[in-house]
């Protein structure tokens, strides 16, 4: 039952009993029962909305990490290397001509990482 349907039923019962000369104890109980149903229905909807928002946020986080990964720079790749990988990598790069020029080295470090060397 939707919130709108509950409100309509609540209003109908209220109007029905008020038109008959006032609210009886039975009518008051019925109206209170409908109000309780409406209240609990809203709590369930709120929980569902919160859960859906959580699922959507997790989905977006997963997409950001796995489907659109941030390009890793050469510097990031070097930071992630083990000692053995770094030793092998430096042995090949120390012989490059641009290594003597700090500006070119910095430019290379900031470039998008290439495939494994």
- Digit-by-digit pLDDT tens for the chain (117 residues) are 566 776 677 667 666 655 555 555 666 666 677 767 766 666 566 665 666 677 777 777 776 666 656 657 777 788 888 877 877 777 677 666 555 666 777 787 788 877 554
pLDDT at 80: 80
What is the number of structural domains in the chain? 2
Mark whether 48 and 10 lie in a shared domain.
yes
Mark whether 63 and 83 lie in a shared domain.
no
Contact call for residues 71 and 113 (beta carbons, < 8 A): yes
Partners of 112 in beta bridges: 73
- Domain range for 85 is 74-110
Mark whether 63 and 8 lie in a shared domain.
yes
Mark whether 41 and 62 lie in a shared domain.
yes
The pair of three-digit structure tokens given for residue 19, joined into one six-digit string: 């038109």
Residue 117 lies in a domain: no
pLDDT at 84: 79
pLDDT at 106: 75
């Amino acid at each position: 039952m939707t919130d709108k349907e509950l409100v309509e039923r609540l209003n109908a019962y209220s109007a029905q009993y008020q038109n008959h000369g006032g609210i009886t104890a039975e009518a008051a109980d019925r109206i209170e029962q409908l109000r309780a149903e409406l209240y609990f229905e809203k709590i369930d909807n709120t929980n569902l909305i919160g859960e859906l928002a959580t699922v959507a946020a997790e989905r977006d986080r997963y997409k950001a990490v796995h489907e659109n990964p941030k390009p890793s720079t050469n510097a990031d790749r070097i930071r992630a290397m083990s000692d053995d990988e770094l030793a092998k990598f430096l042995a090949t790069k120390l012989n490059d001509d641009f290594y003597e020029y700090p500006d070119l080295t910095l430019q290379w470090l900031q470039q998008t990482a290439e495939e494994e060397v």
